[in-house]
Amino acid sequence: MSVLTAAIGAELSKIKSSRIVRLVTGVVLGLHLLIGAANLGDTTTAVRNIGADGLIEIFAGERVLAGEALVDLLIASSLQIVVMFLPVVAAVIAGQEFLQGQLAQSVLSVPRRGILVTAKAVALVLYIGVVAVLVEAISSAYLYASVQDWNPGLVYAAGTLAEQARLLALAVLVSLVSFAITTLARSTLIGVVVSVLLMALTMTQVLARTVPSVDALLPVSAGRNLVLDAADADLSSGPVRAAVVLVAWAVVSTLVAGVVLSRRDAR
Amino acid sequence: MIEFKGVTKRYGAKTAVDAVTFAVRPGRVTGFLGPNGAGKSTSLRVLLGLDHATSGEALIAGKRYRDLTFPLRTVGALLDGAGPVPDRRGADHLAWIARSNRIPRSRVGEVLEAVGLTDAARQRTGRYSLGMRQRLGIATALLGDPEVLILDEPVNGLDPDGIRWIRSFLRGYAGRGRTVLLSSHLMTEMADTADDVVVIANGRIVADGALADITEGHPSLEDAFFALTGAASKQVWS
Ligand SMILES: Nc1ncnc2c1ncn2[C@@H]1O[C@H](COP(=O)(O)OP(=O)(O)OP(=O)(O)O)[C@@H](O)[C@H]1O
Ligand SMILES: [Mg+2]
């Protein structure tokens, strides 16, 4: 156990002391701050115009229940960052291992490769978890700024927090998939490209429109099915199936990465 | 104590190391000699659990490397294929390695001082010169104050001062009863450093014994080396 905790600590040190990882994380958070700031005015205006009937017009011509619509907006604003960029951060972290023989040094330090991969996965989950919480906190702060005169409690209502928790799980799981793919491919670039392809498959809804049962098996689609509301979006499966698919992707891909790393020579 | 027991390593059809068997004793500096491509690095990578042996096994203090708990506290290693990531600072590179084996953080400053890198501790390793990277690698090997030191071509890239320092350092290390195994393709540097030598050529051990015994009947270690590895060396140099 102490071997594992030491290895996790070392992996966290690696992540934190890498300039490129800090840079990419900073860019992602900065982008999220900018997008949020750009939308703040519109959302605040929409909230100010909520009628006596409690309906809000966020998209022109569509009047919907304000509370639900604002929470959906909150989740959607974090979702795009989480799905598009956190897998990239994960790929950058995982790809560091294949630069300049870093992997050989890692295996010298922690020769039990099962422990090494477990430590890496845990450290990644912790780091991505913190970044995802920051993303959600930024989204929440903007929402708070918009709704403070109407219903500030909306931001920390139990229902809102539950949705945030699901989004956090999604962030961690899709990042683990990206980490595993990068480790298998031994390349940040391939990890990023595959992550972007998986995301594009989901976002363009190509499979969802033609073969929804296959779409439901994709990790990003499963994530979308998990956090979005069937009433507002076309989903290819229910939330439980989506959770199973997403967890299976993360666990299986990480296991495969672990087994392959164990069998290959460390170079 | 290091033992190789019939270690064979193939990469596809290529046999890099063929039934290598020898032992390294504590309290002595053992030189692992052979021309380029002879199989030195491969043998050491198998010993350190980086490459999987096709057959045979290599043990340190009776155990496989991977079975050592916090191995860096027992074995320090320098390998050319195990460098720092260029965007990390030298001190941070040592810090994560120390943390992985629960080595006190204070050792980072100590080993940096020992190899003369204190001033470069906050620089990113991508900016290091060849010799500075080599010194950082030696610092990494020393981090856990190990009983066993395994260094692959430690003098590569070092300036004359560095070479003299590492020689006397290794002699002192072995003098305190510890085990030192260092590889080289240069004979001249071993003549003043090693007590024992193991000579490898074309993946096979061709000589193994005290330096004096190996050189007996030859004008110098270099002559002994060429006599022992003749065929293999010709392949490389001709
Ligand atoms: N990953 C690999 N794939 C295929 N062949 C390899 C691999 N690594 C080493 N070899 C081959 O194994 C042989 C031994 O290489 P090794 O690096 O062990 O030699 P060396 O004695 O360390 O040489 P040098 O003095 O040049 O460092 C060489 O013929 C090399 O081409
Ligand atoms: Mg070599």
pLDDT at B236: 45
Predicted structure pTM score: 0.92
pLDDT confidence band for B201 (50 / 70 / 90):
very high
Query: Is the CB of residue B30 below 6 angstroms from any atom belonging to ligand 1?
Result: no
Q: What are phi and psi of B227, to 5 degrees?
A: -65, -40
Residues with Cβ within 8 Å of A107's Cβ and at least 6 positions away in sequence, in order, are A113, A116, A266, B49, B50
Average pLDDT over every residue of A166-174: 94
Residues with Cβ within 8 Å of B139's Cβ and at least 6 positions away in sequence, in order, are B94, B111, B112, B114, B115, B117
The residue nearest atom 29 of ligand 1, judged by CA position, is B37
The residue nearest atom 16 of ligand 1, judged by CA position, is B39
In which element (H, E) is residue A94 found?
A: helix A66-95
pLDDT confidence band for B187 (50 / 70 / 90):
confident
Query: Is the CB of residue B34 below 6 angstroms from any atom belonging to ligand 1?
Result: yes
pLDDT at A228: 84
From residue B142, alpha-carbon distances to A17, A112, A204, B110, B111 in Å are: 21, 21, 54, 10, 7
> Which residue's structure tokens are 């809000």?
A56
Q: Which ligand neighbours the alpha carbon of B33 most closely?
A: 1
Task: Compute the distance between CA of residue B19 and CA of residue B5 in angstroms, rounded to an integer.
Answer: 8
Using CA coordinates, name the residue in chain A closest to B48: A108
Instruction: Say whether pLDDT at B238 is over 60.
Output: no
Instruction: Say whether pLDDT at B209 is over 50.
Output: yes
Inter-chain CB pairs, A–B, below 8 Å? 94
Q: Which ligand neighbours the alpha carbon of B18 most closely?
A: 1
Please write the tens of the pLDDT for every residue from A91-113: 999 999 998 889 999 999 999 99
Residues with Cβ within 8 Å of A44's Cβ and at least 6 positions away in sequence, in order, are A145, A146
Query: Is the CB of residue B233 below 6 angstroms from any atom belonging to ligand 1?
Result: no
pLDDT confidence band for A19 (50 / 70 / 90):
very high
Per DSSP, A59 falls in state S
Q: Do A107 and B49 touch (CB under 8 A)?
A: yes
pLDDT at B189: 74
CA B218 to chain A, closest CA, distance in angstroms equals 39
Using CA coordinates, name the residue in chain B closest to A96: B85
Q: Which two tokens stand for residue B145?
A: 């104050």
Per DSSP, B195 falls in state S
Share of chain B above pLDDT 90, in %: 72
Provide, as residue numbers in chain A, all residues whose Cβ is less than 8 Å from the Cβ of B80.
101
Comparing CB atoms, the residue among A6, A20, A104 nearest residue B82 is A104
Alpha helices in chain B (DSSP H): 40-47, 90-100, 106-114, 130-142, 160-175, 187-191, 211-215, 221-237
Could you tell me which residue, B230 or B149, shows the higher pLDDT?
B149
Please write the tens of the pLDDT for every residue from B156-176: 888 888 898 899 999 999 999
* The CA-based dihedral angle spanning residues A257, A258, A259, A264, taken in that order and rounded to the nearest 10 degrees: 80
Q: Domain tally for chain A?
A: 1
Q: Do B100 and A110 touch (CB under 8 A)?
A: yes
pLDDT at A112: 95
Please write the tens of the pLDDT for every residue from A41-52: 999 998 888 888
Q: What are phi and psi of A150, to 5 degrees?
A: -105, -60
For ligand 1, the distance from its centroid to the CA atom of residue B84, given in whole angstroms, is: 21
Instruction: Say whether pLDDT at B177 is over 80.
Output: yes
Share of chain A above pLDDT 90, in %: 64
The alpha carbon of residue A81 and the mean position of all alpha carbons in its chain are separated, in whole angstroms, by 7
Q: What angle do CA A188, A171, A229 make, to 5 degrees?
A: 135
Comparing CB atoms, the residue among B72, B86, B101 nearest residue A100 is B86
Task: Compute the distance between CA of residue B90 and CA of residue B56 in angstroms, rounded to an integer.
Answer: 37
Please write the tens of the pLDDT for every residue from B123-137: 999 999 989 999 999
Q: Which two tokens stand for residue B92?
A: 């941070």
pLDDT at B231: 52
pLDDT confidence band for A63 (50 / 70 / 90):
confident
pLDDT at A30: 97
Which residues of B sit within 8 Å Cβ distance of A?
45, 48-52, 65-66, 68-72, 77, 79-89, 92-93, 95-97, 99-102, 124, 140
Give the CB-side neighbour count of residue A118, counting CA atoms within 13 A. 12
From residue A247, alpha-carbon distances to A39, A76, A125 in Å are: 33, 21, 13
CA A8 to chain B, closest CA, distance in angstroms equals 8
Burial of A163 from C-beta contacts in 10 A (0-12 / 13-18 / 19+): buried
The residue nearest atom 28 of ligand 1, judged by CA position, is B37
> Which residue's structure tokens are 């030598």?
B197
Q: What are phi and psi of B114, to 5 degrees?
A: -60, -35
Residues B34, B28: contact at Cβ < 8 Å? no
Provide, as residue numbers in chain A, all residues whose Cβ is less than 8 Å from the Cβ of B140.
105
Q: Do A10 and B70 touch (CB under 8 A)?
A: no
For ligand 1, the distance from its centroid to the CA atom of residue A168, given in whole angstroms, is: 46
* Residue A210 domain boundaries: 3-263
Which atom from ligand 1 is nearest to the alpha carbon of B45? 18
Burial of A196 from C-beta contacts in 10 A (0-12 / 13-18 / 19+): middle
Query: Is the CB of residue B37 below 6 angstroms from any atom belonging to ligand 1?
Result: yes
Per DSSP, B154 falls in state T
Average pLDDT over every residue of A221-250: 87
Choice among B30-34, B93-97, B183-187 with the minimum mean pLDDT? B183-187
Radius of gyration in angstroms for the set of CA atoms belonging to chain B, rounded to a whole number: 18
Give the CB-side neighbour count of residue A71, counting CA atoms within 13 A. 22
Mean pLDDT over each residue of chain A, to the nearest integer? 92
Crossing angle of the two packed helices B90-100 and B106-114, in degrees rounded to 10 = 130
Could you tell me which residue, A34 or A200, shows the higher pLDDT?
A34
pLDDT confidence band for A181 (50 / 70 / 90):
very high
pLDDT at B192: 81
Query: Is the CB of residue B42 below 6 angstroms from any atom belonging to ligand 1?
Result: yes
Provide, as residue numbers in chain A, all residues whose Cβ is less than 8 Å from the Cβ of B95.
13, 17
Which atom from ligand 1 is nearest to the alpha carbon of B39? 18
Query: Is the CB of residue B236 below 6 angstroms from any atom belonging to ligand 1?
Result: no
> Which residue's structure tokens are 């992985």?
B100
